[in-house]
Structure formats: C-alpha cells, structure tokens
Structure 1
Amino acid sequence: MSSQTDPEDLYERLLDEGLFESEDEQLQLGEEFVSARQRFRKAIAGRDEDADVPRLGEYVERTPFSAEEVDDGTFADALAVSDVCETVDAGTSLHVALSLDRSEAAEDESHVPAGFVSLAGEEIESFLRAHPASIVYCWRENCDPCRAVGDHLADLRRDGTILEQFGLAAVYGPDNAEVLSEKYDMGGSPTTLFCAGTTIESRFMGNPGPKGLRREINTLAKNL
C-alpha cells in the first residue's frame, strides 16, 4: 500500500472529501461517489466511448495486486475514489475500492464484527505496521464457531475491552488461503491473531469463548 495509508488519517480524508456521508449516525456511500462509480462503470463497459479512462497499470503499480486480480467493477470504483477524493493517490484508491467490494459482499454476512475492517491477505502486513496492536480475525461462511467468535469480538469492542488504539481486521479465509497459510501459519477458520506491531504474540484456533479472548486482549493491551 502507498505512503498514504495511515488508516485513521485515510478514513478522515475519505469522510471529509465525500466518499462517505453520515446519516442518522450511520455511514453510507456519498452521493458524489455513487454517481462517479456509475459513470466509470458505464465508461469501462464501453457504453461511453468518449470517456477518458486511465490505464489500470497506473493503479496496480506499487500495490501487491496484479491487473488480472482487479475486475472492471473494482477498477471503476478505484477511478471513482480518485475522482471524488483528490488527496488519495491511485494505489490507495485501488485499496479502498477493494475494501469497499469486500464490505459490500459481506453485508449479508454477520461474521464481520462491527468496527472490523475487511482485508485481503496481502494487506495484513501493512495493516499491522500501521497499529501498535491488532486483532486479525479469519472467518468463513456457514461456520457456527466463526459466528460465535465474531459476536464475542463485537461485544468486547462494545464494552471497551478492545481499546481504540487496536487495529481490527477481518479476513475471509477461503479467498486468502495461500497467503494465510504461508505467511501466518493459518490452516482453518476461525483463527484469531493477537499482534503487537507485526509480531504475532498469540493466536486462537476455534472459539475460545469471551473469557479466553478477553484474557489475550488484556495481555496485549499491557504492552501499549
């Protein structure tokens, strides 16, 4: 990810520049972004031959992604992010677009706890570098233990056990199996990593229950 990726700073800029807007204390995509997204999707689909569409290579450059991994819809979203948010560079726009795609795909899933950011496996390392402590929750669908762990994590965030300084990430295991196995020694879901910077201090496979999760979170918080 580019040098623009301090998560809190990026979030504030996306909000300030209109990618998101708040309504009734709920975040939703801004009207300007939705309009730009529709315009670029139409252009990329070839229905607007006069549109000036940048090359995809400009967006995948200096990211861990290849052009083959980015579909037309995601590329259109990246173009819309760049169009609406003038301070966000091309590579960061692509990361934002991919995160939006994952978040929208997971809207019908209750596995991603409130306050957690959906990441691809390739994004974990830069996410860990950006936070003094992080929790990385790996899940899959049709998984009762995953649902239980997600609910426990949401409750622990809600009651203040999980501190605001923590980075909170959710990774969909089936789509990221290779990188999760090779870089983080994950072999199944749910798996929850507790990290200080880029160092994995501890992990749980399966559902340890709220007491087990609370114990590891409190241990991690002592080092902040």
Structure 2
Amino acid sequence: MTFSIIARCPRSGQLGMSVSSSSPAVASRCAFARARTGVVASQNVTDPRLGPAGLDLLAAGATAEEARDILVRTSEHAAFRQLVILDAQGRTSVWSGEKALGVNATVARENVAAAGNLLANPSVPERMVDAFLASDVTLDLGARLLMAMAAGQEAGGEAGAVRSAGLLVVDREAWPLVDLRVDWDEQPLERLSELWSVWQPQMHDYVVRCLNPLTAPSYGVPGDE
C-alpha cells in the first residue's frame, strides 16, 4: 500500500525521502532520516521501530547493506517488511520480505533507491529511479524527489487511490530541513507539491533564524518589524 524513493544529492550532501500510500499518515510511520547519516524507509506491514534502529546502525558505521542485513536478521517478522536504506556515502540497499503485499518491487542504484507494494505494476520503482536520475542535478533534492514521485504515479503508482504523502529532507542540522506531510487527501501528491512550493523559498531562512537571529530575514507577516 506504499511507494517511496530515497536519495542523496552529491552536490549538497542532503539526504531525503518521499512516500505515498492509500493509508493515512504514511510519512509519520515510514520515513526516517538523519543528517550526515542516512535514510531508512520502513514500509509494507510497517514496523516504525526499524527506521531509528537502522539509522543508529548507520551512525555506528554500518553500510546500507550491513544495516539491512542486521535489521532483517534481528527482526522477528522480517518476512512482512519492506526496507529501503541509504547511507551518507550514497550506498543503497533494499529488502522485500516474502510476505510483502501484492505486486511489489525494489530498485537500488548509487545515491537512489525506490520500492513499493500493492503496486499497479512492477515497473513503478524503476520509473521513479529513472526520473530522479534524469532530473536536473542543480535543483533542490526535495524538487527532484517530488518529480520522481510524480513519475511513479504516472506509471500507475499504487493499485488503489493514494490518500497520504510526505517529503523528508535532512541537511547539516539535527532537525529536518524539509518535513512536509499530507495525511489524508484525495490528491496527496499534488497537495504535497503545493506545500513544497510554499516552503522551498523560505526553508533556509528558518535555519538562519535558529542559528543567528541577528542576521535572519523578516517573517513578512503582520506585526513583524
């Protein structure tokens, strides 16, 4: 009931993920990222514990493949899980257990990987990865991830209608640079793109406001001087 893509931008070092599903609040359960560490997508019959556990393994020095192997070996119900993992060096790994739902598929390349279950067809992850790799490398990682998600939707996406979506990007700080979610909507990916268009022009301003308010730009709202 989910399709997702994780990626690293070699230009900026940013790491991120986008995901969509027919179930509600997908990003809150499936998307995990840590600056300068990696990204873990935990999906299918979701076990959100695998996300932080995978990031801790990456932070301790495991590669994406090593983290996957440890999670699969130590998870009691790995057969039900789908994992997509990216480390800070751009290495990727994927896992689909034998009990992954419906039509499911994974694709792993350097700096990008995608996966899905209950898909309309098995080509969806490959179309997403191809779209990401073909996108303009000078664009923000968030924009490139959304382009890939649109390509996945155009390729058929999930077999049923999707209702939630999310975009998560980490940069240099401990908190996300981007953490946008549409938790229940008739067109969640379209709404997510609209949220991105609002957030993207000012996302770095909020980092500056945290690190040095004296140099921060104004908020541009009534009462702000």
Q: State the TM-score, normalized to the length of structure 2.
A: 0.31
Higher helix share: 1
Q: Which has the higher contact order (CA 8 A, sep 6+)?
A: 2
Rg larger in structure: 1
Higher strand share: 2
